[in-house]
Amino acid sequence: MNQEEPRIAIVYATEQGSTRDIAEFISDELAGRDAIVELADIDHAPDLSRFDTLVLGSAVHDMDFLPAATEYVHAHRDELSSRNVWLFSVGLAPALRGPIGRAAGRFVPKKIATLRDSIAARDYHAFAGRYERAGISPHTRILYRLMGGGHYGDLRDWAAIRAWTDTIAQSLRLPKSHSTTIHP
């Protein structure tokens, strides 16, 4: 192992898989730029002593990280506070449009902000995930539309995810990406 290469753990908490896809994409991008990367579901998170950087992602439910992600941060607060931690969330808010929707998309839910600040995370970014129409009540559909949500399905913005990954790579002084893959 080349000791010069940064060691990055990428850990995700997902309910329906879209956060895992994003974590996989970030992992592939960083591994392709000469970092040593380990990707894991939060229930199988690696021992952090082997890593200097953690990228932690969670789906958003009810304006909070999934319980497994919140519990993980609480349980490892000291280790996380002494490392570079990059947090991301995956929800529907960043996909909202119009003045109200964009304001809602920029708003960081209080519980997530508190968690972010408790470990002095290097950065936090909210990405759009998947939002399936099936199973959504008529009341929630109307609310979604009023908030500026027009679309259902896969709302992920891979260019935004790539740009954030690039920010992480640049902060670690990794070489430029050779990849031209635009994720589906």
Ligand X SMILES: Cc1cc2nc3c(=O)[nH]c(=O)nc-3n(C[C@H](O)[C@H](O)[C@H](O)COP(=O)(O)O)c2cc1C
Binding site for ligand X (CB under 6 A): 14-19, 59-63, 90-93, 129-131
CA-to-CA distance for 63 and 27, rounded, in angstroms?
A: 26
Give least dist CB 6 to ligand X, A.
Answer: 26
Give least dist CB 119 to ligand X, A.
Answer: 21
Give least dist CB 170 to ligand X, A.
Answer: 26
Give least dist CB 8 to ligand X, A.
Answer: 20
Give least dist CB 53 to ligand X, A.
Answer: 22
Nearer to ligand X, 134 or 182 (CB): 134
Nearer to ligand X, 33 or 86 (CB): 86
Nearer to ligand X, 99 or 153 (CB): 153
Nearer to ligand X, 65 or 84 (CB): 65
Which residue, judged by CB position, is nearest to ligand X in the bound state? 129
Closest by Cα among 124, 102, 104 to 115: 124
Nearer to ligand X, 107 or 159 (CB): 107
- Residues 6 or more apart whose CB falls under 8 angstroms from that of 152 comprise 131, 132, 133, 136
- Residues 6 or more apart whose CB falls under 8 angstroms from that of 178 comprise 32
Give least dist CB 5 to ligand X, A.
Answer: 29
Nearer to ligand X, 131 or 164 (CB): 131
